[in-house]
Amino acid sequence: MLKTPKGYKFTALEGGFKYSGRDDLALILSDVPAVAAAVFTKNKFQAAPVTVGKEILAESHLVRGAMINAGLANACTGAEGIEDCKESLILAAKYLSISERDLLPASTGVIGPRFNMDRWREVAPKFKKALTENDPVKAAKAIMTTDKFPKLAWGEIECNGQSVRMLGMCKGAGMISPDMATMLGFVTCDAEVDPIWWQDALRRCINKSFNCITVDGDTSTNDTVMAFANGASGVKADDDATKKSLEDLLLDICQQLSYMIVQDAEGGTKVMHIKVTGAASDKDAELMIRAVGNSPLVKTALFGEDPNWGRIVAAAGRSGADFDPEKLTLSFGKIVVFENGKPVEGDMDALLEPLMRKQDVEVNITLGDGEGSSLLQASDLTREYININADYRS
């Protein structure tokens, strides 16, 4: 059963920014000021909500929540787009009886078009009434674009005899190969936390979750992950044991959400779990794992359930990683298919057929006896992915 953290409300409205007949505007609001942490895209073309969100957090780490719209990214819209973003916050804040600096903005959708601010003016008065609801699923659905399903994860831990809850949601299916976070993600927690530790914990968890996935090798202008902690549970994360338990839960939530993104993947049918070990450095392992996970040839072979190890070896060889080809060992699951510079003898296609039919496929690459390693979850590349993105703006 979905358990929401104490002191939060989740709601959604139909703004009509791009879509018709569906909710496309979500609000996450804490009853009291919450400590906010956030990690944003490194793309040089940063969307207006990213710029404005950074400005707000530079002033204070205490906010009340986030407002998210789907359909229009408000990216590459110049100074006018930033003013539109700020005006949308002013409109919402007016009817929520809070300051516009209490809300962090986030947007997702088509890059380029500006908001129709008349639509914001029409929908803003509805916020107050909508906050009588508390429906995280409705909010998660509202932030979807090409997603096939809403993505939520939640958990609960006991700290000194008291319960702490955490709930996360995200959207994302395409334009996924993060260098910070991925698309849009939001985590709410009812513990009381130190702002610096909370920010550092979020970064650490992102590096082990959202930064370890790829769908198509693309990153977005809007990528954002936010985490809020409002202290409503009465539990203070002020000792090492509580902090560790809380960070472990945050990591679990982030990993569940990031897996769902690869599982969705705009028509994806497979999740490839790639592991590189024995590299000369973590950087070398990262170069190789990205080359394999983002290779269209590897991904289409995965979709076709073809254990074409030659494509993986070729991607490894062009990755730029420093390694000895004679020492590379490649296996699907526990079945070794390539080592010592040549294929392992046997009817590998027949042996691997049951494994390749599964949704989750393990690919393990060992490069030698170095200490470098990396992990990545990658989707396959399907016909539906092409259809979705060929028609994305229509």
Q: Which residues are catalytic?
A: 182
DSSP state of 182: -
Query: In terms of residues, how long is the chain?
Result: 394
Q: Half-sphere exposure of residue 191, counting CA atoms within 13 Å on the CB side? A: 32
Instruction: Compute the half-sphere exposure of residue 325: CA atoms within 13 Å on the CB side of its CA.
Output: 12
Residues paired with residue 105 on neighbouring β-strands, in sequence order: 67
Q: How far is CA 147 from the centre of its chain?
A: 12
Structure tokens at 19: 């879509």
Residue 364 to residue 144: CA distance in whole angstroms? 33
Cβ 10 vs Cβ 138: under 8 Å:
yes
DSSP string computed for 298-360: HHHHHHTT---HHHHHHHHHTS-----GGG-EEEETTEEEEETTEEPSS-HHHHHHHHHTSSE
Instruction: Write b or e for each residue in 85-104: b if 16 or more Cβ atoms lie within 10 A of its Cβ, otherwise e.
Output: bbbbbebbbebbebebbbbb
* DSSP symbol at 21: S
- List all residues 6 or more positions away from 131 whose beta carbon is below 8 Å from its beta carbon: 9, 11, 27, 29, 96
In whole angstroms, what is the distance from residue 126 CA to residue 124 CA?
5
Q: What is the DSSP string of 282-296?
A: HHHHHHHHHHHHT-H
